[in-house]
Chains A and B, each alone.
Chain A
Amino acid sequence: MTIYNFYLFNKDGCCVSYKEWKREKEAEFRLMYGMLLSLRSFSSKLSTKSGQQQVKSYETNQYKMNYLETPSGLKMVLNTDPLASGISELMRMIFQLYVDIVVKNPLIDPSNVISSEIFEKRLSELVEKHHSF
């Protein structure tokens, strides 16, 4: 059980926050965002059911990519071990943290990279206390 890293993209595709705990390989922001867009488009075209739908996660044999997208276009990616559980609740807590610390801070420009030490510290605390870490 482990949590590798975390990405936060705003609606324009800019990576505003990145955090890693146990990553073993290099990460790339533009490639990740491009993949999210393709995944979203792929899933919406493949589904023939009524109504909107949202990607939740994908798994490989080594990791699981958990995805959360808010109606305002904010996208979160949390890479974990395939066996990690309770990740969707953790991502909602992270979003709540984002709202409390970043959105409510008038000094932070939403289109720039988040440079809040409190946000980074609280994010690390939240993830490291989780039972899947």
Chain B
Amino acid sequence: MSIYQVFIINRAGSLIYDWEDSKEGNVGIEKTFSYPLDIIFDIVDQKISVVFGERDSIAIRYTVAAINGITVQGTRIMMNNEEVDVMEYLSNEANFPLNIRFMPPTITTNEKIILSSTFHSLFTIAAQLSPAKKSSGIEILSTTKFKLQCFQPTTGVKFIVVGSPSMTTGIDNFLRRLYELYADYALKNPFYSIDMPIRCQRFDDAVKNLIEKHDKYHMVTI
């Protein structure tokens, strides 16, 4: 799929809806290591992350998910009925050799909420920093790994699509169609409070259908 994520952000910058492509292959990597480790770890956002020493498709930002088959909980692990700090465990030579399972980076729900608020600020500052007059906020953000497109109608709600860097055609129509679905399923719902998260199965289904239809008619080689 060329569309990775869809977000809807309300006027205050809060995330009220998000969709993520679950078919993306979240493949973990498992390897046996001897002492001393040639990969350097650090605690980033309460996770043990790789900060240096990419190899064997273990890349920077990968996190430690399990050691010797035992799941890591944040930065700690249950070893022999005793809770142990993972960083200390990895620096003790007596524990080697051991088997470590790595997972690629993912975005938790809390992180999505934080990212939505961040984008809300960036959107406003981009208009403020404009060298030209009467600029809107960010409409397209391009990086080497993804492309983000944002549509803000006059009501102030933001519709954001994150897709592959080669995502180009039809996104404007997609976003306007998403706006129509929002108007139909959220605003016409008498039980829906404005600016609250959208929890409507029909809206979910309609968004999924829209994304599948979009991908079907805009095949892009990634």
Contact of B129 among A28, A46, A48, A49 (CB under 8 A): A28
Count of A interface residues, CB-CB < 8 Å: 40
Are A60 and B137 in touch, CB under 8 angstroms?
yes
A20 in the interface (beta carbon within 8 A): yes
- Interface size for chain B: under 10, 10 to 19, 20 to 34, or 35 or more residues? 35 or more
Least Cβ distance of A42 to chain B in Å?
A: 5
With both chains docked as a complex, state the minimum distance between the C-beta of B154 and any C-beta of chain A, in angstroms.
13
What secondary structure prevails in chain B residues at the interface with A? loop
Give complex CA distance A51, B62 in Å. Answer: 9
Q: Which of chain B's residues have a CB closer than 8 A to the CB of A58?
A: 126, 138-142
- A12 CB to closest chain B CB, in angstroms? 20
Type the 1/0 row for A1-33, where 1 means its CB is closer than 8 Å to any CB of B. 000110000000000000010111101100110
User: Do A48 and B104 contact each other (CB < 8 Å), given the known contacts A28-B129, A56-B143?
Assistant: yes
Decide if B122 touches A48 in the complex (CB within 8 Å). Answer: no
Given A56-B144, A63-B135, A48:B128 Cβ within 8 A: no
B104 contacts across to A, CB distance below 8 A: 48-50
Contact B111 A20 (CB under 8 A): no
Contacts of A72 in B (CB 8 A): none
Chain A's nearest CB lies how many Å from the CB of B69? Answer: 24
Knowing that A31-B129, A34-B125 are A-B contacts, what are 20 other residue pairs whose CB atoms are under 8 Å apart, sorted by A's residue number?
A: A4-B132, A23-B131, A25-B130, A27-B129, A28-B129, A43-B143, A43-B145, A46-B5, A47-B146, A48-B105, A49-B104, A50-B104, A51-B59, A53-B145, A55-B143, A56-B142, A56-B144, A59-B139, A60-B135, A61-B139
3 pairs of A and B residues whose beta carbons are closest in the complex: A4-B131, A62-B135, A53-B145
A-B contact pairs, 27 of them (CB 8 A): A5-B131, A31-B128, A38-B121, A42-B118, A45-B107, A45-B114, A45-B115, A46-B107, A47-B145, A47-B146, A48-B106, A49-B145, A49-B146, A50-B59, A51-B54, A53-B145, A53-B146, A55-B142, A57-B142, A58-B126, A60-B126, A60-B127, A60-B138, A62-B130, A62-B132, A63-B130, A63-B131
